[in-house]
Structure 1
Amino acid sequence: MSCPKVLLVNWRDTRHPEGGGSERYVERMAEGLARRGYDVTIQCAAHANAPRDEMVAGVRFRRRGGRFSVYGWALLAIMTTRPDVVVDVQNGMPFFSRLVARCPVLVLVHHVHREQWRAVLGPALGRIGWFIESWLAPRLYRKCRYLTVSEVTRAELVRLGVAASRITVVHNGLDPVPRTRAAQDPDPTLVLVGRLVPHKRVEHAIDAVARLATRWPKLRLEVVGQGWWLRTLREHAELRDVQDRVTLHGWVDEQDKHEIIARSWLHLCPSVKEGWGVVIMEAAAHGVPSVAYRAAGGVAESIVDGTTGLLATDFDDFVRKVESLLDSASLRTEMGAAGRAWAAEFDWERSVDAFETAVFDVVSASSRS
């Protein structure tokens, strides 16, 4: 069998102003398939940072539509490009590709969005979004194979009615982290890297600094990332009277991001939900332990609790976990060494191997039927 034509329909790409870790995953998988001879296209929303049509690393990008119209453009692409397999990337909202595709559909889910619907859209619209994700989508895609990035999300999908036998876990890989010049800061320094949006709960990190400021008079928080929640976070830091301790860097390039991570004592990830947590693994590769919430999805896998970082049950516990690691240089060093070893187990080629197997299996099964 010749290598299939693969169409990935996704809300955004990594060059989009709101692009993040899930988009990086999609593009790494696409690039890996392209290197192996597949004809790969990513259909996503248009934006000012990139042209409508572009070839990057062997992958064809077709950027059409905006936040909502991207879904219509994706359906049109499925009908007109005649792929051999569609990868429907469901970031909460499905593309409804099953309705028009004349080929197998693979459903890629990084995590479920029960908590995020309400946080982003409010209670009324949030209920509609959650109904589509939790009830309608599992029924519409009931004959499709699923891919996800963690066993935690796999279990969540099973609870929504997706048969476990139809779900394959393909973990994130990890890009080699660049060599950094930074030595660990002599003063206690926390870092948070991510998009500045409500469900990332950067406020929890700011509140932790406020709670610990008396005991740690030189404690600082470095926040790396951009997003529409920036002004709210700046106001929140002023409200908590820690504006002089919190640096909101905005966007920085990859080298500067890694320099900031490498000089930090701890990495914080107070997000409501993450599919995996790429930056957790990047921090681990630099020997920097992470603290996150146990209920926040894939972070419960990307952090090996008690070994490469700590998982908290609620905000008070989050602060206690941060304080315990600030208190113990030996524990941070021990977790840092374990984190480096853990991060070394993940690379994109192994992930692409598993992803390619899933793609090839559904195409082969379709050709036999």
Structure 2
Amino acid sequence: MTRVRGAHVLFLNWRDTGHPEGGGSEVYLERVAAELIDIGHHVTILCQAYGTAPAEETNADGVRIIRRGGRHTVYLRAALVYLLGVLGFGPLSRRRLAPHGLGRPDVVVDVCNGMPFLSRLYVRRRPVIALVHHVHREQWPVVFGPRVARIGWWIESVLAVRVYRDCRYVTVSETSRNELAGLGVDPRRISIVHNGTPEACGAPVARTPYPSLVVLGRLVPHKRVEFALRATALLATEMPDLRLVVAGQGWWDEPLRTLADDLCINDHVEFAGFITEERKHELLGSSWLLLQPSLKEGWGLTIVEAGSRGTPSVAFRSAGGVADAMSDGETGVLVADEYEFFKAVRSLLLDAARRTAMGANAATHAQRFTWEKAGAAFSQVITGRLEAGQPTLTDQRAP
């Protein structure tokens, strides 16, 4: 009989939360992994190595993390680790892949962040679940040149769909589920497991006495922080005490600083870089608005984080999962283009009553999403997959 409770779950992901470019998808993975352990499963995450991070460790939640390869080689290294670990020879022995003494993983969760691990090609006798936060159609040409973008999009939209044709999918929003269905994935094979809302840490803080905005996330082109900078430049002519904090780090940092200099708004913008959890929640609680100008998101973790602090958001309707994380017009505003983005930010900054009402709604909305619910829903998908031995057709959704 297949072991279900107490199953060994192997996640393949290109990063973990300690990676300098780790983001919301890594938070989702590790929080769900922690919940799975609380339920009674055992979890290993195999991801890329970086800096001085140890090759292997067990985090505070009991999640075993194995780091191999780099940004582009982690996919091949994952296959080698899995194959060598399963076969039980060489330095990457069965014991090291499965530190809980469980032998081979019972199920493999292949996290497809644009570039999939294609683990179905080498995980032959164990079920594979494809975890997709969102479809990267719009992001490929922004991050890469035309040729690489075409190849990447073909791998994601054609090859991966073919490779995972008998696999169960998990995604984080109805929008992403519809996008996957548009690529040819049977919607009956796609389960929705929402993000939880990270717990607010630190004491409540007062709003700043001056108009304040915050952008929170990795500094990469598809986050489109430029929209926030240009909006700040326009608004500062009307609100001379306006301040914008850009919190996060990434390789796009220097071009953003150059743009701020070109716009002559250095006195209005703070590039905070990496911030602690305490500082993050202080910013989310004290700012008047969260700006989320990203081109695409699977969910919108920062939106519900800000909401938990009573802070409404402005984001783009076309950005995927943000439309699921927000109730448009109630907990924030969704816009169609950069001009509407500017108008919505200005309108909310000038209307304290509307902004306060939206913040109260956002706090209530954020309470709907918990990591406990997410872990339970993910565990149901794993259990169903192991018991059935084939893709299940029941949509297991987090309440």
- So what's the TM-score if we normalise by structure 2? 0.90
Range 71-80 or range 3-12, more displaced: 71-80
- In the alignment, structure 1 residue 213 sits paired with structure 2 residue 236: yes
Identity of aligned residues (%): 53
Q: Are positions 1:54 and 2:76 aligned together?
A: no
Pairing 1:180-219 to 2, within 5 Å after superposition: 180-219=203-242
Moved more, 302-311 or 216-225: 216-225
Conserved 8 A contact 1:180-1:258: no
**Paired residues of 1:78 and 1:97 also in contact (CA < 8 A):** no
CA distance in 2, matches of 1:353, 1:145: 17
8 Å contact 2:168–2:391 — kept in the other structure?
no
How many Å separate the matches in 1 of 2:237 and 2:194?
Answer: 40
SS at match of 2:378: helix
Indicate conservation of the 8 Å contact 1:33/1:352, yes or no. yes
Instruction: Please tell me the residue identity of whatever aligns with 1:8.
Output: F
Which amino acid in structure 2 is aligned with residue 123 of structure 1? P
* Counterpart position of 2:113: 91
Which residue does 2:291 correspond to in 1? 268
Residues 157-202 of structure 1, C-alpha deviation per residue, up to 9 Å, x if partnerless?
0000000000000000112201335310111000000001111111
- Taking the aligned partners of 1:74 and 1:198, their CA distance within structure 2 comes to 28
Q: Which runs of 4+ in 1 moved over 4 A?
A: none
* 2:78 maps to 1:74: yes
- Tell me the distance in 2 between the aligned counterparts of 1:104 and 1:368: 9
Read off the aligned partner of 2:299 and give its amino acid letter: W
Retained in 2: the 8 A contact 1:7–1:78? Answer: no
Correspondence for 1:171: 194
Separation (CA, whole Å) in 2 of partners of 1:122 and 1:328: 42
1:367 to partner: Cα distance: 8.5
Q: Which residue of 1 aligns with 2:322?
A: 299
Distance 2:318 2:307 in 1: 20
Match of 1:361 in 2: 384
The structural deviation recorded for 1:135 is 1.1
Which AA in structure 2 matches 1:85?
Answer: V
- Is 1:64 aligned to residue 68 of structure 2? yes
1:143 corresponds to which letter in structure 2? D
| Long gaps (5+) in structure 2 | 87-103, 393-399
Displacement after TM superposition at 1:368 (Å): 12
The 1-side partners of 2:379 and 2:7 are apart by 10
2:8·2:106 contact (CA, 8 Å) conserved in 1?
yes
* SS at 1:32 equivalent: helix
What is the match of residue 95 of structure 2? none
Q: Which amino acid aligns with 1:149?
A: V
Alignment of 1:33 onto 2:36? yes
| Structure 1 position 4, deviation (Å) | 1.6
Deviation at 1:33, TM superposition (A): 1.2
**Structure 1 unmatched runs, 5+:** none
Contact 2:385 2:391 (8 Å CA) reproduced? no
- d(CA) in 2 for partners of 1:136, 1:181: 48
The answer to whether the 8 Å contact 1:180/1:262 transfers is no
Q: C-alpha distance in 2, partners of 1:170/1:13?
A: 19
Per the alignment, do residues 368 and 278 of structure 1 end up closer, same or farther by CA in structure 2, a change over 3 Å counting? closer
Separation of aligned partners in 1, 2:115 and 2:213: 34
Look up the SS of the partner of 2:381 in the other structure.
helix
State the superposition RMSD in angstroms: 1.4
SS in 2 for 1:115: coil
CA offsets per residue over residues 209-255 of structure 1, 9 Å max, x none? 11222111111111110111111110000111111111000011110
Q: What's the secondary structure of 1:6's corresponding residue? A: strand
After alignment, is 39-48 or 77-86 more displaced?
A: 77-86
1:22-69 Cα distance to aligned partner (Å, 9 max, x none): 001111111111222212100000112521100111111100000011
DSSP 3-state at the match of 1:86: strand
The TM-score with structure 1 as length reference comes to: 0.98
Distance 1:88 1:77 in 2: 14
User: Where does residue 93 of structure 2 map in the other structure?
Assistant: none
Does residue 23 of structure 2 align to residue 20 of structure 1? yes
Within 2, Cα distance between the matches of 1:271 and 1:42? 27
Q: 1:114 is matched by which residue type in structure 2?
A: R
